[in-house]
Amino acid sequence: MNTTVSATAALPTSIDEVLVRLNGILDNALRQGARIGYFAALYERVTTNVRRALVAGNMFQDNARMERLDVVFANRFLAAWNEHASGGTPSRSWRAAFALLDDPGPLVVQHLLVGMNAHINLDLGIAAATVAPAPDELQALWPDFKAINQVLSRLVKVVEDELGEVSPRLARIEEIAPGLEDRVFDFGIDVARDFAWALATELSQTPPAGWNAVIGARDAIVADAGRALYPLHGIPGHVQNWIRAAESTDIRYNIQVVAE
């Protein structure tokens, strides 16, 4: 387990600091052959692309607000990982994701999906409501909220294609179950985005004293959804075994493919 960052370490305050922290996790995962590198690699790519959009200045209506959202959002994952790596107890949603890290059974895509489940379905809504806590502020955030999800959507599609190098039979799943691959990956795009926005909306309409109850209820739901991703709901067990039999077991190599 990576214990190089303590649970009390200061969290980033800028997108550049987020990238430094993500690359630290990614580098350690590559050295150690640790599966946390799968999600860290995907997330570093997402954050890098958000940063490029901020530099270009042609995607978001409010770049300063979007950087705050990105940092608050990323810090949810970083704090959860710090807590886990230090032997603490992160949210139930992240516990469901981290519980798979020492298990050789899940596919690479399952590690990505269970991380996306925790981060989008729970963390994104909390981050949006934190940056824009009042209902009118949250409504003003909506166009940029959609835009950042477009960045994620594009990258997930790219990674989906690249995973064929790690898991060649995953690329052939359409031959067995037409439409299934899209349904699996789209979980993190439209449905999760709307689920996150619903949480942000509920929080914006809830007094601060009631946030913990709302977040706790959502955390339980998202954790259950994460546990349903292994085995992958909707894909027969024998199909998952068939995919797994041809998937690369070289964790370092797999991380590099996701990180490309």
Residue owning tokens 């959202």: 69
Residue 132 confidence (pLDDT):
97
pLDDT at residue 188 tops 90 = no
Confidence bin at 152 (pLDDT 50/70/90): confident
Q: What's the pLDDT score for residue 233?
A: 63
For the segment 170-176, the average pLDDT, to the nearest whole number, is 67
> What pLDDT score was predicted for residue 7?
44
pLDDT higher than threshold 70 for residue 4: no
Measure the CA–CA gap between 175 and 49, rounded to whole angstroms: 32
The answer, yes or no, to whether residue 239 has pLDDT greater than 90, is no
- Single-letter residue type at 43: Y
Whether 41 shows a pLDDT value over 80: the answer reads yes
Mean pLDDT to the nearest integer, 217-235: 87
Q: Across residues 24-38, what is the average pLDDT?
A: 98
Q: What is the pLDDT of residue 171?
A: 72
Number of CB atoms found within 10 A of residue 86's CB = 15
CA distance 181 to 234: 10
Nearest alpha carbon to residue 144 among 228, 232, 219, 70: 70
Domain ranges of the chain: 15-259
**CA gap 148, 126 in Å, rounded:** 15
Integer angstrom CA distances of residue 72 from 69, 91, 243: 5, 16, 36
User: What mean pLDDT comes out for the span 175-185?
Assistant: 57
Average per-residue pLDDT in the chain? 89
